Structure 1
């Protein structure tokens, strides 16, 4: 494959211009709207970026001014992002689920001068906090529906007006846009990517054009992509996981980015696109697995029997494929038969038939889930990195997939383990530091080495094994170490368990608060004639507790060491939610927050005399309304508790 290292000399806008010269009429973006897919060629992409850049200059945006982007993944968001970069500005993505107070804090911290929103919902949030964000000089919106009341206020601007200003500027000076792009340098900061905030408020990692493009170039040295490949953009743009694909990989390889009609239709739109590669957090793959299991459960008895037989064949075949070893002839034939009769039709129904590779990152994925996907023919691989190194620094190679590791470093990435057991990385994708946080930057970087905050080690095969966050690794009362994340992933491999929070630091045993999966357990309840009304009601059913107890018993039976066993658990009356602060925007558990919020349940888990407890549950709905409900939580003790 021809080297792409020459792309490292470009900024993102310069690389876009290079793509236009290379293949102007090739489709770069595709958006589904009103049931139809609307394509944008590389030349069309460039035209809109030019309008934005020249329009922003006309309304007074200066080099290094900050532009915040809040909204669903749509082409206009990327026109705004790269248009800002072209005229020397710096962007920052904010999750569209963020509450007004969160947004106000971020806009203040990042000194944002202009905000782009995709619709009225996001604009209304800014209206609520307008008096707190005096630095914001302009709010640009894409969807004019519901915006009539704001039409006379100069603080707001329709993106069509921005485009018009850009066209006027182009007519006045046709050379201006190229001059702006030429001023950019690869090491200029172009984006402030907010960290996930597992340990506090988000921090803005300063990322350069070179940071993004280097990641895109290096990953394709391991897993080459063709310009004809398709990708579905359904992850939040504010997450580094989406930026690394749409800024780094797409610009480096020329693949087509597809935008679903909405977040709600993403899984259905995925079937229409049939992407060649995809990336998602573990929760995405857990959700898809649950859908697959439901399809099997709803199928004819013969299909269930076929699945039950061939999944064991698939698991055996997967172990050979993942290790890069040749399969025995008999297993190869059975594997082909299972793929043909069961698995290819099955994964075609969920839109994964054309996938050559699927990546997961952002949190650990249980080894069992890896084996499941490999068994059904989906080439799922783990990647590892963090916001501060553009998301990917380590990944599995085809034929060298070890489910208990995160693979080997990308080309150009160095790794070492500190004396304290912390994972350190160094590459051209490492951030310059945190915006306006010199003390945090000093803690993060040391002689070019990035401190991950994760504990791990390099195994005898050169693979990196991540144990847990350094701050999250626990020790029981006897000083024996265990990883709560590892045990949580074991629990979540059960189709009946959506989420779990493990406790046990300085305690005599491990305990857990468990969220059942409402879809799978709901279907199970219906099949067994168990009626229920709400998630709370379903979680409180004694039959459901028996079901989950059996899952915990299975996990305990396979525990490598006695202190890995879970001896007490309770079923939580509500799903853990990012809007309630229990999960980060990327779905990671905020363990300390959860423990403090459910302190009385935590204390009851460590008092074996408590079998049930009445609690007052407080709910806050998306429309802002709240409700208080009194419910009974039951606690279950496993056999053999110390």
Structure 2
């Protein structure tokens, strides 16, 4: 890149890559109606240029907010980079947000413009429009169903681009002048935190923050301009901003958009990504699915697969310990790959992946070990919105299931006397929008207080214990980490979610959500009739099935952390019910309140499983 670091903004990086690759390389690829549509780098830059100038024609001014509510598609990138080029600030909103949540964000951010994906998202805005005097324009990517709508605020993204191209013809140097005004410390995006413990806050992330994170991460795991990236996680999440925006732009990699959320797994096989980031739920579901397939396979295939996994696990363990693989182990590993492991990776669409990351919440060591055993270079990463995403990850030569890795180059990490993880570097965010008090509590002398409890081991690896607020203490003073127990429970393919409780209580209990697909298949195989999730979860046979899971988990836990009783949720936890965040993390405080009666009943039981 020819630009100096003190001149870099995301739109400038895009412009530089467009000059470098022009029409000769694909920047974006989107699957529509079963066919992959390609966008070259110069076309990518042209879309952003046209949207930017079109927004200015509509009245967008420097410092204004443009909210975006859309799934993963090129339009989000066009809008985000266009707003940044104009000196405005894009605001990410999760596509599955309820109208009231959308209203709160639009009101707080004072957004004047909103880009929505389609009629469904437009209706959310129109439903609360009277309470949002600041919103002037609703820009729609897909106008189907809205063609005859009489609301004057609605305009198609195509029309905005058309206005921008006309403006560019009249004033050809305007866009370049806008790029010159942009500065690295301008706010690049406003992202609302998940808010697992309270009201969500809007984190101001600068261009410098995002590009520093991209540089730091790719110093450890280099990304090439020939790499394929898959974009399927929300752009309102910092992890997707890291990979599909900053890293992809900086490296010149191609970003691929699956057709629908439901086709991600199928489309992964067609894309063949080289770099992939996903939350624990993605890896848990994939592992669970394969465990069920292995259990249902013919005896010979089942035995061959389990042997291959054992060989893969042994080889992975030797690499962790820094030991070279013996000739015999190398031969056995090749045999395991031929027998099963390569086929597994192919079925998952992971055969070409060089770096796979899990982040957003802890991943259980058993699931982590499964993917390492089949040969996937899966790594834990650590970061949060306020650290501009990834700031700690494993080097290839030192990947350990029990740690999060080492600070990336340019990142400093230490643990305070109270045991809190602190982070410093150019990746630390600017602060919370319109919340100086919260900013002052979070950043002190350049150090970010993460709210996470952890330690740094003798190898320089960061170990996260849990959220400071989630490390619990039993009535006798014994301390335990609910996340550790929850992840062990979720290694079972029959368990979708688990919430462990014990603060100021005599012992530990758990609320468990069964995996409807896996347990449903088990019930059918065992001729156990059921109608709904509630009906299935309340069957005595299902309770016995989960009791076996709990008993196995208890064998690996210290006495004070063993689960003495459990209950099964009679519904699936959902973000719309306030039980999960939009990034699928459990809202523990909501669960404790909403299911208090169920919890009290567990503590009143006698003769619970031990």
Task: Give the TM-score range, shorter chain.
Answer: over 0.9
- Alignment-derived partner of residue 596 in structure 1: 593
Partners of 1:333 and 1:536 lie apart in 2 by: 49
Partners of 1:248 and 1:292 lie apart in 2 by: 33
Contact map agreement 2:64 2:88 (CA 8 A) in 1:
yes
Contact map agreement 1:323 1:402 (CA 8 A) in 2:
no
Alignment partner of 1:318 is 2:316: yes
Structural mapping, 1:526-565, within 5 Å: 526-559=524-557, 561-565=558-562
Alignment partner of 1:438 is 2:409: no
Deviation at 1:329, TM superposition (A): 2.6
Partners of 2:411 and 2:2 lie apart in 1 by: 16
Q: Helix, strand or coil: the match of 2:302? A: helix
> 1:257 aligned to 239, 255, 258, which one?
255
Alignment partner of 1:284 is 2:282: yes
Alignment partner of 1:373 is 2:371: yes
Partners of 1:328 and 1:590 lie apart in 2 by: 47
Of 43-52 and 185-194, the range deviating more from structure 2: 185-194
TM-score, normalized by length of structure 1?
0.93
Contact map agreement 1:211 1:430 (CA 8 A) in 2:
yes
- Alignment-derived partner of residue 344 in structure 1: 342
> 1:586 aligned to 583, 587, 592, which one?
583
Q: Helix, strand or coil: the match of 2:297? A: coil
Deviation at 1:605, TM superposition (A): 1.1
Contact map agreement 2:289 2:493 (CA 8 A) in 1:
no
- Alignment-derived partner of residue 566 in structure 1: 563
Contact map agreement 1:468 1:483 (CA 8 A) in 2:
yes
Partners of 1:261 and 1:324 lie apart in 2 by: 42
Partners of 1:519 and 1:322 lie apart in 2 by: 34
Q: Deviations over 1:526-566 (max 9, x none)?
A: 2222222211121112222121111111111111x211111
Partners of 2:14 and 2:62 lie apart in 1 by: 19
Partners of 1:322 and 1:516 lie apart in 2 by: 33
Q: Deviations over 1:99-155 (max 9, x none)?
A: 1111111111111110000100000011110011100010000111110342x3221
Partners of 2:195 and 2:382 lie apart in 1 by: 17
Residues 218 and 9 (structure 1 numbering): CA distance in 2 closer, same or farther, change over 3 Å? farther
- Alignment-derived partner of residue 616 in structure 1: none
Partners of 2:46 and 2:360 lie apart in 1 by: 34
Partners of 1:82 and 1:432 lie apart in 2 by: 19
Residues 8 and 257 (structure 1 numbering): CA distance in 2 closer, same or farther, change over 3 Å? farther
Partners of 1:535 and 1:336 lie apart in 2 by: 43
Q: CA RMSD in A?
A: 1.3
Of 390-399 and 289-298, the range deviating more from structure 2: 289-298
Contact map agreement 2:137 2:153 (CA 8 A) in 1:
yes
> 2:306 aligned to 296, 305, 308, which one?
308
Of 68-77 and 298-307, the range deviating more from structure 2: 298-307
> After TM superposition, where is structure 1 displaced by more than 4 Å over at least 4 residues in a row?
3-8
Residues 531 and 7 (structure 1 numbering): CA distance in 2 closer, same or farther, change over 3 Å? farther
Partners of 2:15 and 2:3 lie apart in 1 by: 17
Structural mapping, 1:58-73, within 5 Å: 58-73=57-72
Deviation at 1:434, TM superposition (A): 0.0
Contact map agreement 2:229 2:244 (CA 8 A) in 1:
no
Alignment partner of 1:131 is 2:102: no
Alignment partner of 1:233 is 2:231: yes
Q: Helix, strand or coil: the match of 2:245? A: helix
> 1:167 aligned to 165, 168, 175, which one?
165
- Alignment-derived partner of residue 10 in structure 2: 12
Alignment partner of 1:117 is 2:116: yes
Of 18-27 and 423-432, the range deviating more from structure 2: 18-27
TM-score, normalized by length of structure 2?
0.98
Partners of 1:292 and 1:536 lie apart in 2 by: 25
Q: Deviations over 1:588-630 (max 9, x none)?
A: 1111110100110011111125xxxxxxxxxxxxxxxxxxxxx
Q: Deviations over 1:496-515 (max 9, x none)?
A: 11100000011111000001
Q: Deviations over 1:58-109 (max 9, x none)?
A: 1110001000000111101110110110010000110111111111111111
Deviation at 1:6, TM superposition (A): 4.6
Partners of 1:414 and 1:126 lie apart in 2 by: 42
Partners of 1:562 and 1:43 lie apart in 2 by: 62
Partners of 1:343 and 1:407 lie apart in 2 by: 25
> 1:486 aligned to 477, 484, 487, which one?
484
Which ranges of structure 1 fall in alignment gaps of 5 or more residues?
610-635
Contact map agreement 1:12 1:209 (CA 8 A) in 2:
yes
Contact map agreement 1:324 1:398 (CA 8 A) in 2:
no
